[in-house]
Amino acid sequence: MHYHPVQTDTPLRARKVRRIVYTVAILTMLPSLYLTYNMLKQSRFTANADKFVAEECRFPSTRVLSTDASFDKGARTLTITLIGKILPADSLNLALSSRLQFYGLAGTKLNIIQGDTPDISDLQSSSVRDIYEMAQTSIADRQVTIDSLRAVIDENRINDTISGRIAPEVKVLFPQVRNLAITRAIFGNIETSGLDTVNVALVSYSTMPPAAKQRELEKYLEARLRLPSVSIVNVSNSMIHTPKAHPANDKHHR
């Protein structure tokens, strides 16, 4: 801006002042550059999502009711709500997902919500339209609930089978382990009435290993299961009831 520098008698002081000014200017610009970069990424993602919906979501008897392109901490999600004739969900999701990469949306999670509805042109009354929109909102909310419940069921199914899948590895690395069960427990704080989720490993040993070996097992489970922490609880063998063999099998074995 053509400002003339102030002349100082001591060059050392002038250099010090310049360093301070440059440092303050850079520290001020860095947050602005970061925010601007994120805004540009969000804007570009939204524009690509709108273009994708406009060009790819064209169906004869089905229309796009709404779209939601969210960009949160690097995770990109595109939710499309359709009305009209129900389309095959698996085929539709597969076909649209394969086209995301051509719009700069590779890695974006695609959610498609559908509802079977009459032709909107037949809805002449505003009150009927209001009821229709309320029904669509209810359908969308129920779909979100169903997806959440499915995620919980899938997670529980994984927890039910995870002990059996890692049992061969544990047998080799920790021969003292006799039985192992991985579960997720929810503890309630009596004083604060708060809830806390804890990953628990119930372990029974043939012979009790030293504390260092138990700590090593804890670190192994955290790394193997990709969990932030695992609490090991020692369980007595007498608490674990194994099924008795069938008499006929015993007789045949003898």
pLDDT attached to residue 253: 41
Instruction: For residues 6-23, give the mean pLDDT.
Output: 80
Q: How many domains does the chain have?
A: 2
pLDDT attached to residue 251: 43
pTM: 0.38
In this structure, what CATH number is given to the domain that contains residue 196? 3.30.300.30
Coil, helix or strand at residue 128: helix
Are 217 and 174 in contact by the 8 Å Cβ rule? The answer is: yes
Between 225 and 219, residue with greater pLDDT = 219
Instruction: For residues 16-40, give the mean pLDDT.
Output: 87
Instruction: For residues 61-79, give the mean pLDDT.
Output: 85
Q: Is residue 25 part of a domain?
A: yes
Q: Are 112 and 167 part of one and the same domain? A: no
Percent of the chain with pLDDT over 70: 80
Q: Are 37 and 101 part of one and the same domain? A: yes
- The tokens for 198 are 């804890």
Q: Is residue 29 part of a domain?
A: yes
Instruction: Give yes or no for residue 3 having a pLDDT over 60.
Output: yes
pLDDT digits (tens, 9 = 90+) for 191-206: 777 777 788 888 888 8
Instruction: Give yes or no for residue 247 having a pLDDT over 50.
Output: no
The beta strand positions in 176-250, using DSSP E, are 177-188, 195-205, 231-234
Instruction: For residues 40-59, give the mean pLDDT.
Output: 89
Q: Are 4 and 110 part of one and the same domain? A: yes
Q: Is residue 229 part of a domain?
A: yes
Q: Is residue 249 part of a domain?
A: no
Instruction: Give yes or no for residue 188 having a pLDDT over 70.
Output: yes
pLDDT attached to residue 122: 52
Boundary residue ending a domain (59, 89, 117): 117
Dist. CA 14–CA 168, nearest whole Å? 70
Instruction: Give yes or no for residue 62 having a pLDDT over 80.
Output: yes
Q: Closest Cα partner for 45 from 72, 76, 73?
A: 76
pLDDT attached to residue 51: 92
Q: Among 82-86, 148-152, 199-203, 218-222, where is mean pLDDT lowest?
A: 148-152
Please enumerate in sequence order all residues whose Cβ is within 8 A of that of 66, keeping only pairs 6 or more positions apart, or say none: 80, 81
pLDDT attached to residue 248: 47
Instruction: For residues 18-44, give the mean pLDDT.
Output: 87
pLDDT attached to residue 32: 86
Q: Is residue 27 part of a domain?
A: yes
pLDDT digits (tens, 9 = 90+) for 107-162: 889 999 887 655 555 544 555 667 777 888 888 888 888 888 887 676 666 665 66
Domain that holds residue 104: 1-117
Q: Are 34 and 109 part of one and the same domain? A: yes
Q: Is residue 145 part of a domain?
A: no
Q: Are 2 and 108 part of one and the same domain? A: yes
Q: Are 13 and 74 part of one and the same domain? A: yes
pLDDT attached to residue 79: 92
Boundary residue ending a domain (85, 117, 149): 117
> No. of H helices and E strands in the chain?
5, 6
In this structure, what CATH number is given to the domain that contains residue 99? 3.30.300
